Amino acid sequence: MKTTKKRSSDKKITLVDVADASGVSAITVSRVINQPEKVSESLRIQVQKAIDSLGYIPNQHASSLASSKSRVIGVAIPSLSNIVFTEVLRGIYEVMGAAGYKVLLVDTHYSPLEEEKMVRTLLSQSPEGLIITGGDQTKACQNFLQKARIPIVQIMELLADPIDMNVGFAHGRAGFDVVKHLLGQGYERIGFIGARMDPRVQQRMQGYKLALEQAGKFEKNYIVTTPEPSSIGVGGELFKSLMASTNGVVDAVFCVNDDLALGALFEAQRMNIRVPQDMAICGFNDIEAAEYVNPSLTSVSVGRYEMGVQASEMIIRVLNEKPIESKKVDMGYEIKKRASTSRL
């Protein structure tokens, strides 16, 4: 081993260094790393020893450039602080990690313009696949995505015209079903509380509206929304607003997610409104607290983790040129009927 450089730890160690140290050619070292079965065992061990002792770490950029394979999957979600997305992410990381893919994650802050910028960022890493949220991309963004010629899954909602693949569930129908459930429990004046009002929330609201209209019980002023992000605090505030603006006639509230619903529930308790006797409260997403809070909270359960898994597996199948059953997967949902809406 030559030590022309005294500070061997100063320079970055490359394939060639390992090759020199183990007396083979660079390409053989490359094979030891990427296709070990193509190298004889003795050489493999010899090279591996050199790799370990030098602490060699391959340069992924060089590898990607040479092979045009990045082993990167890009993921764009609207918000990092929303548990809904972090659970989807868990599913994605689980599957992608196991399959040897890195995940490059960006946060679009619910803005299509931001999303466009972020998608550019993702594409500049030459990802082999992309998972993005919803169908609200800008025209320019759609163009980029088309051109990329990589598998893309749009998640969270079902889209009429997906860019490539699509995994989600029907938010509108879920909202519709929630209202049917509340009506079935004998609640008559059903309010709606919404925050952030992204496309999926809007769909839930449309479902709510449709169901009430069909029942002849829709009242515009039973709807209270805010563009602010959801939180328990906001849920409490909106509940108070709803009560105030309707003089307390509302006897049920459909909250567009569980944070709002918990906020409404806790506020109702403070206002001495009995849930579910005098007031039904229904959430959405079925976070863990819904099951354990007192009274337990009715909510719409969605396979978030599974959605991440499903999207990832579809991409991997396509990358491995295996057939996929369908480009569009409806994950469904289930209304978990609990104490907070049970008057019967």
Partner DNA sequence: AAGCGCAATGATTGCGCTATCATCAGCATA
Partner DNA sequence: TATGCTGATGATAGCGCAATCATTGCGCTT
The binding site for DNA (CB under 7 A) comprises 12, 14-16, 24-28, 30-31, 33-34, 38-40, 42-43, 58-59, 62-63, 65-69
The verdict on 34 binding its own copies (CB under 8 A) reads no
129 closest CA partner among 180, 182, 74, 86 = 74
Cα pseudo-dihedral 166, 90, 205, 247, rounded to 10: 180
Restricting to residues 124-143, name those near its own copies by CB under 8 A.
124-126, 143
Under the binding rule (CB under 8 A), the answer on residue 291 touching its own copies is yes
Q: Which of residues 26, 159, 289, 319 is near its own copies by CB under 8 A? A: 289
Q: Which is nearer to its own copies, 38 or 61 (CB)?
A: 61
Q: Which of 237, 157, 155 is nearest to 195 (CA)?
A: 237
Where would I find the H helices in 246-303?
Answer: 258-270, 288-292
Of the candidate spans 23-31, 183-191, 217-225, 228-236, the one that interacts with its own copies by CB under 8 A turns out to be 228-236
Q: Per CB under 8 A, which region of 189-197, 201-209, 255-263, 273-281 contacts its own copies?
A: 255-263
C-alpha–C-alpha distance, residues 90 and 96, integer Å: 10
| Closer residue to its own copies in complex, CB, 172/235 | 235
The answer to whether the beta carbons of residues 188 and 176 sit under 8 Å apart is no
**Sites for its own copies among residues 181-220 (CB under 8 A):** none
Provide the H-helix boundaries in the chain: 15-22, 26-34, 41-54, 60-67, 83-98, 112-123, 139-148, 171-184, 199-214, 232-245, 258-270, 288-292, 304-319
Token representation of residue 337: 């009927």
Q: Residues interacting with its own copies, by CB under 8 A?
A: 1-2, 9, 55, 57-62, 64-65, 70, 80-81, 83, 86-87, 89-90, 93, 97, 102-107, 120-121, 123-126, 143-144, 147, 149, 151, 164, 231-233, 236, 259, 262-263, 266-267, 269-270, 288-289, 291-294, 318
